[in-house]
Amino acid sequence: MAIIPQKIQTRITEGLKKFQPIVESAKIRDVSESDTVVMLTGILSDILGYDKYVDITTELAIRGTYCDLALKINDKISLLIEAKAVGIDLKEQHVKQVVDYAANKGIEWVILTNSVSWRVYKVVFSKPIQNILVCDIDFLKLRPKAIQDIETIFLLSKEAIAKNSLDVYFTQKQATNKFMIGNLLSEESVLNTIKKELKQIYPDIKVTNDEIRTVLVSDVIKREILEGESSDEAKKKIAKANKRKEKLKEKKPADSVVPQMSNETIPTAENTIVSEN
């Protein structure tokens, strides 16, 4: 996570102190969706740094209807927000609604929120269109002075979106998710390392990579981690990285050859011509 300037930290801290009681009160009173949108506009402006007159719009038309809120960075729509009343539980059908909006406009990031729960999704333009939940923030549980919580909500700020911080955060989460780590454990290079460590502990016992892999798959790694779409995606990325590695190995011997000069071509004091001027 990039260092957050003190000025922005102060803005977030003061904004949380101001709006958390407002959201809590709105939840108790069970205010309407339109009132929730007004409240969200205040949060986006006072905490997240968007100019309510320039960066926030409610006029983005999509297939004959309007998205609740759209956020602009340098006059370009960067993020869509689907708002529900503060008392409404967020459901899968609501996710589909905002993802459909994003897909029609070619926008990669969406937020589904009722002002208490903020669910941030990455829209993947594959066939079919997919969405990945990247983070789920409970606004009322954020601690105004805790740097970890400030960093979490900062991800949605104008400053962070302008620097593609959500994309960086998403890539980091993908690199360390359970599907990637689980499938990496079955790679030959990792199995070789485990075998080497076992040899240190049990020098007289011979263990094969297949035996280690069998134990990992049957007893250590959960089955759900090695199956399904997320696991397949991790396998593809690992296979792609392995192909790059193999290509580098193939190129290395040729690239590392140093041309040898014959004795006839090596300059010496005797055959070097010095210009006399």
- Which of 137, 163, 189 terminates a domain? The answer is 163
Q: How confident is the model at residue 252 (pLDDT cuts 50, 70, 90)?
A: low
Residues 184 and 154 in one domain: no
Residues 182 and 102 in one domain: no
Instruction: Give the phi and the psi of residue 5 in degrees, each rounded to 5.
Output: -55, 145
Residue 16, domain CATH: 3.90.1570
Residues 98 and 39 in one domain: yes
| Residue 93 pLDDT > 80 | yes
Q: How confident is the model at residue 277 (pLDDT cuts 50, 70, 90)?
A: very low
CA distance 210 to 188: 9
**List of residues 6+ apart from 264 with CB closer than 8 A:** none
Q: How confident is the model at residue 145 (pLDDT cuts 50, 70, 90)?
A: very high
| Residue 258 pLDDT > 70 | no
Give 143-167 as a DSSP string.
Answer: -TT-HHHHHHHHTTSHHHHHTTHHH
Smallest CA-to-CA distance from 72 within 161, 175, 133, 178 is with 161
Dihedral over Cα of 131, 134, 140, 144: its sign: negative
CB-based contact 23:115 (threshold 8 Å): yes
Residues 55 and 124 in one domain: yes
* Digit-coded pLDDT (tens) for 161-214: 999 999 998 888 878 778 778 888 888 899 999 999 998 999 998 999 999 989
Residues 136 and 195 in one domain: no
- Which of 110, 130, 163 terminates a domain? The answer is 163
Kindly state the tokens that stand for 118: 């903020």
Q: What is the dihedral of CA 43, 49, 54, 56, to 10 degrees?
A: -40
- Tell me, what's the pLDDT at 1? 57
Residues 125 and 186 in one domain: no
Scanning the structure block, which residue is given the tokens 């969200």? 40
Dihedral over Cα of 65, 102, 230, 228: its sign: positive
Does the residue 47 lie in any domain? yes
Q: What is the 3-state secondary structure (H, E, C) of 213-225?
A: HHHHHHHHCCHHH
* Digit-coded pLDDT (tens) for 25-79: 999 999 999 999 999 999 999 999 999 999 999 877 776 677 889 999 988 999 9
Residues 58 and 32 in one domain: yes
pTM higher than 0.85: no
Residues 127 and 208 in one domain: no
Does the residue 265 lie in any domain? no
Range of the domain at 126: 6-163
Residues 189 and 229 in one domain: yes
Beta strands 109-113 and 76-83 are parallel
| Residue 125 pLDDT > 90 | no
Give 63-105 as a DSSP string.
Answer: TTEE-SEEEEETTEEEEEEEE--TTSPP-HHHHHHHHHHHHHH
CA distance 102 to 79: 8
Residues 186 and 155 in one domain: no
The total domain count for the chain is 2
Q: How confident is the model at residue 241 (pLDDT cuts 50, 70, 90)?
A: confident
- Tell me, what's the pLDDT at 274? 38
Residues 146 and 101 in one domain: yes
CA distance 115 to 122: 19
- Which of 163, 194, 214 terminates a domain? The answer is 163
Residues 113 and 233 in one domain: no
